[in-house]
Amino acid sequence: IKAEFQKWPWQYWAEQRPTEIAIALGDANAGAVTWNWIEVTANIETYAQRLVAQGVKRDQLVAVVAPNSIDVLWLLLAIIRVGARYVGLNPKLPSKALIEQLTALGNNHIWCPELDSAEQLPGHTLSLNPAVTSERIIPVMWQEHRPVSLTLTSGSTGLPKAVVHHPQSHLASASGLLKQMTFTADDSWLLSLPLFHISGLAIVWRWLYRGARIVLVEPALQQQALQWVSHASLVPTQLQRFLDSEYAHQHQLQQVLLGGATIPVSLTTAAEQAGIECWSGYGMTEMASTITAKRANSSAGVGTVLPNRELILRDGEIWVRGKVLCLGYYRNNTIFSLLGYDDDDDWFATKDLGEWHDDELFIRGRADNMFISGGENVQPEDIEQVLLQHAAVNQVIVLPIDDHDFGARPVAIVTTAQPLDSYLVDQLVTYMSQNVVPHKRPVRYLSLPDCFTQNVKVSRSDLAQWLASQV
Ligand code: 4YB
């Protein structure tokens, strides 16, 4: 097993495991299309030649605005191969937001297959199939420290930040996680999260690190594909949907890495009963995905710190550092350190609140989600965790609404196993009155609109806008 590569990882695997299947695309039962490591290496060269023919140069920024597909994977790898930098953007972004984000990034090139008006987006539009008149040698070497990816991550306000990673941080993330979770070269990991999010990129780097197999399917087959693979990364709602589906009765899924949001114990318990080993993780973009993890059990914690990461609590807030930490944030064609002004302090403040109990980390929410109700501090995630323990509640976001007397009061926006009728609302009201102090009891229960559950995670600021339009 290789911890450091002296050459492109695919080239290394083309020598070590030349004819093993590296990529499988499509329905395993209906004959998936596959590429072995030699073919993968050749294909990356072809795509790299196409990029060079269209003027893509080292250190340039290439924006890819598309849902996951084999083309996005080839592009990502070819962009890295030519020494350029990949930035993925959510294709569902409204075009105004998309243009705003691209303008802030200053991307040189763009690939945006789903938008007719791609010509009007910033950057030179790339084609996947240009005429390549002369092949050239691309004199870019594998370098662990070359910036390769920018990943957008939204804070609570303003434009998203563009987090810059190099292969070293991505690979350190993969190697540390895989010291805990088993993922052998014969295993297959479904590309189950978008390549414009760190959770999707992390799947690619674990695959490259291990020389294993990555599986891609069209969006309509995502649920079913969980039957055919050994590994997947899922946000809790994806796992819930799989367990509720017909496919959960018969599957080969061995291990699932969960993260991105509070992971209900009831969910991992149900999955374990269905024969799926669950790993509960806590991660973030700046740390190249997972920071702490454990095999799921009866406690709601997120386990211990993985190798290549360090974590401390300062006044209840989580601070992190380590080999997995990104190079910085990208603004005005410059990479800015994300650390403070104190040279001696190389810890990064996550703004997440945490506690240690029995050598295990528990996430208590984000410092900037806190609000005040009638003079009392209310941490919305505290309320969410209690509601999640109710059998009917699958997912919940608590937000404040303005209140004449209290300043603000909590509202719960939920997805539920049964319809959210007055009967269920009464049940929830009773349940909360028995379990939390009055200022933590939601004054309203609303159903989470479907459009919010399409993304990797529910955006609290978008949901707050929606809530404002409801009341
Ligand atoms: C949490 C949380 C938790 C994050 N409880 N709040 O490869 C993986 O690690 C993975 C696998 C499956 C699903 C997701 C992942 C991720 O990468 C998640 C990483 C992520 O969400 N990054 S983020 O930058 O978009 O958001 C980070 C924030 O998300 C954190 O700062 C927390 O506030 C929150 N979060 N895991 C509660 N287990």
CA of 260 to the centre of ligand 1 (A): 3
Nearest Cα residue to 63 out of 22, 137, 115: 115
Is ipTM beyond 0.95? yes
This prediction has a pTM of 0.96
Which amino acid is it at 225? A
Q: Ligand 1 pocket, 201 CB below 6 A?
A: no
For ligand 1, what atom is nearest to the CA of residue 153? 24
pLDDT reported for residue 342:
76
Q: Ligand 1 pocket, 363 CB below 6 A?
A: yes
pLDDT tens string, the chain, 471 residues long: the values are: 455 799 999 999 999 999 999 999 998 778 899 999 999 999 999 999 999 999 999 999 999 999 999 999 999 999 999 999 999 999 999 889 999 999 999 999 999 998 765 558 999 999 998 988 888 899 999 999 999 999 999 876 778 999 999 999 999 999 999 999 999 999 999 999 999 999 999 999 999 999 999 999 999 999 999 999 999 999 999 999 999 999 999 999 999 999 999 999 999 999 999 999 999 999 999 999 999 999 999 999 999 999 999 999 999 999 999 999 999 999 989 999 988 777 778 999 999 999 999 999 999 999 999 999 999 999 999 999 999 999 999 999 999 999 999 999 999 999 999 999 999 999 999 999 999 999 999 999 999 999 998 888 899 999 999 999 987
Q: Ligand 1 pocket, 257 CB below 6 A?
A: yes
CA of 88 to the centre of ligand 1 (A): 18
Q: Ligand 1 pocket, 262 CB below 6 A?
A: yes
Q: Ligand 1 pocket, 234 CB below 6 A?
A: yes
CA of 462 to the centre of ligand 1 (A): 18
For ligand 1, what atom is nearest to the CA of residue 280? 38
CA of 348 to the centre of ligand 1 (A): 16
Map residue 321 onto helix, strand or coil: strand
- Decide if 324 contacts 266 (C-beta within 8 A): no
CA–CA dist 49, 45 (Å, integer): 6
CA–CA dist 83, 137 (Å, integer): 13
Of all protein residues, whose CA lies closest to atom 9 belonging to ligand 1?
A: 290
Strands 289-295 and 304-305: antiparallel
CA of 461 to the centre of ligand 1 (A): 17
Determine the residue of 262, 284, 459 to mutate for testing ligand 1's pocket, defined as the one with the most ligand atoms within 8 A of the Cβ atom: 284
State the helix-helix crossing angle for 37-53 and 70-81, rounded to 10 degrees: 70
Q: What is the DSSP letter of 370?
A: -
Determine the residue of 163, 241, 282, 286 to mutate for testing ligand 1's pocket, defined as the one with the most ligand atoms within 8 A of the Cβ atom: 282
Say how many C-beta atoms besides its own lie within 10 A of residue 25's C-beta: 17
Q: Ligand 1 pocket, 350 CB below 6 A?
A: yes
The alpha carbon of residue 320 and the mean position of all alpha carbons in its chain are separated, in whole angstroms, by 18
For ligand 1, what atom is nearest to the CA of residue 290? 9
Partners of 277 in the β-ladder: 255
pLDDT reported for residue 201:
98
pLDDT reported for residue 340:
76
Map residue 59 onto helix, strand or coil: coil
pLDDT reported for residue 10:
98
Task: Work out whether the CA dihedral 51, 56, 61, 63 comes out positive or negative.
Answer: negative
CA–CA dist 74, 249 (Å, integer): 34
CA–CA dist 347, 338 (Å, integer): 9
Q: Ligand 1 pocket, 278 CB below 6 A?
A: no
- Decide if 258 contacts 302 (C-beta within 8 A): no
Of all protein residues, whose CA lies closest to atom 7 belonging to ligand 1?
A: 199
Determine the residue of 198, 234, 369 to mutate for testing ligand 1's pocket, defined as the one with the most ligand atoms within 8 A of the Cβ atom: 198
Of all protein residues, whose CA lies closest to atom 21 belonging to ligand 1?
A: 260
pLDDT reported for residue 265:
95
